[in-house]
Chains A and B, each alone.
Chain A
Amino acid sequence: MRVVKAMLRQPSALFGLIVVVVVVVMAIAAPLIAPYSPDNQMFDGLTLEGAPMPPSDQFLLGTDTLGRDLFSRLLFGARTSLVIGLVANGIAVAIGLVIGILSGYLRGFVGGLLMRFTDLMMAFPALLLAIVLAALLRPSLWIVAMVIALVNWVQVARIVYTETRGLVERDFILAERSLGAGHFRILFMHILPHLMPTAIVWGTLGIATTVLLEATLSFLGIGVQPPQPSWGNIIFESQSYFQAAPWLVFFPGAIILLTALSFNLVGDALRDILDPTQRGRG
Chain B
Amino acid sequence: MFKSWLRNTTIATVVALTPLPSFAQDTPQQGGDIIVTYKDDIATLDPAIGYDWVNWSMIKSLYSRLMDYEPGTANLIPSLAETFGVSDDGLTYTFKLRKGVKFTNGREVVASDVKYSIERAVNPKTQGPGAGFFGSIKGYEDVTGGKTTTLDGIAAPDDATVIFHLSRPDATFLHVLAINFASVVPHEAVEAAGGDFGKNPVGSGTFVLKDWTIGQHLVFERNPDYFVKDMPHIDKFTVEVGQEPLVALLRLQKGEVDIAGDGIPPAKFLEIKNSADGPKMIVDGQQLQTGYITLNTKVKPLDNLKVRQALNMAINKDRITRILNGRATAANQPLPPLMPGYDKSFTGYAYDVEKAKALLAEAGFPAGFETVLYSTNTDPQPRIAQAIQQDLAAVGVKAEVRALAQANVIAAGGTEGEAPMIWSGGMAWIADFPDPSNFYGPILGCSGAVAGGWNWSWYCNQDIDKRAVAADSMSDPAKVAERSATWGKIFTDIMADAPWIPLINERRVVAKSLRMGGADNIYIDPTRVINYDAIYVKQ
Tell whether any CB of A sits under 8 Å from a CB of B in the complex: yes
Contacts of B404 in A (CB 8 A): 134-135, 220-221
Contacts of B322 in A (CB 8 A): 46, 48-50
User: At the interface, yes or no: B389 with Cβ under 8 Å from chain A?
Assistant: yes
**Minimum CB distance partner of A220 in chain B:** B405
User: At the interface, yes or no: A237 with Cβ under 8 Å from chain B?
Assistant: yes
Stretch of A98-106, A159-167, A240-248, A261-269 at the chain-chain interface: A240-248
How far is B377's CA from A131's CA once the two chains are assembled, in angstroms?
A: 12
User: At the interface, yes or no: A39 with Cβ under 8 Å from chain B?
Assistant: yes
Contact between B271 and A244, CB atoms less than 8 A apart: yes
Expressed in whole angstroms, the minimum distance between the Cβ of B421 and any Cβ of chain A is 14
Expressed in whole angstroms, the minimum distance between the Cβ of B117 and any Cβ of chain A is 38
User: At the interface, yes or no: B480 with Cβ under 8 Å from chain A?
Assistant: no
User: At the interface, yes or no: A66 with Cβ under 8 Å from chain B?
Assistant: yes
**Minimum CB distance partner of A68 in chain B:** B386
User: At the interface, yes or no: A282 with Cβ under 8 Å from chain B?
Assistant: no
Contact between B323 and A227, CB atoms less than 8 A apart: no
How far is B377's CA from A254's CA once the two chains are assembled, in angstroms?
A: 26
Contact between B246 and A134, CB atoms less than 8 A apart: no
User: At the interface, yes or no: B319 with Cβ under 8 Å from chain A?
Assistant: yes
User: At the interface, yes or no: B105 with Cβ under 8 Å from chain A?
Assistant: no
- Encoded as 1 (CB less than 8 Å from any B CB) or 0, chain A from 35 to 69 comes to 00001110100101111000000000000011000
Contacts of B382 in A (CB 8 A): 226, 237
Expressed in whole angstroms, the minimum distance between the Cβ of B325 and any Cβ of chain A is 4
How far is B227's CA from A248's CA once the two chains are assembled, in angstroms?
A: 54
Contacts of A48 in B (CB 8 A): 322
Partner among A50, A131, A225, A241 whose Cβ is within 8 Å of the Cβ of B405 = A131
Contacts of B401 in A (CB 8 A): 225-227
Number of chain B residues close to chain A: CB under 8 A: 31
Number of chain A residues close to chain B: CB under 8 A: 27
Contacts of B389 in A (CB 8 A): 226-227
How far is B389's CA from A237's CA once the two chains are assembled, in angstroms?
A: 17
User: At the interface, yes or no: B387 with Cβ under 8 Å from chain A?
Assistant: yes
Contacts of B383 in A (CB 8 A): 65-66, 237
- Encoded as 1 (CB less than 8 Å from any B CB) or 0, chain A from 17 to 49 comes to 000000000000000000000011101001011
User: At the interface, yes or no: A139 with Cβ under 8 Å from chain B?
Assistant: yes
Query: What are 16 pairs between A and B in contact, CB < 8 Å?
Result: A41-B390, A49-B325, A49-B326, A50-B270, A50-B324, A65-B380, A135-B411, A139-B402, A220-B377, A226-B386, A226-B401, A227-B401, A237-B382, A238-B267, A240-B246, A244-B271
**Chain B interface (Cβ within 8 Å of chain A)?**
246, 265-268, 270-271, 319, 322-326, 377, 379-380, 382-383, 385-387, 389-390, 400-405, 408, 411
Given contacts A240-B379, A244-B268, 10 further A-B contacts (CB under 8 A): A40-B390, A66-B383, A139-B402, A220-B405, A221-B377, A226-B385, A227-B389, A227-B390, A240-B246, A243-B271
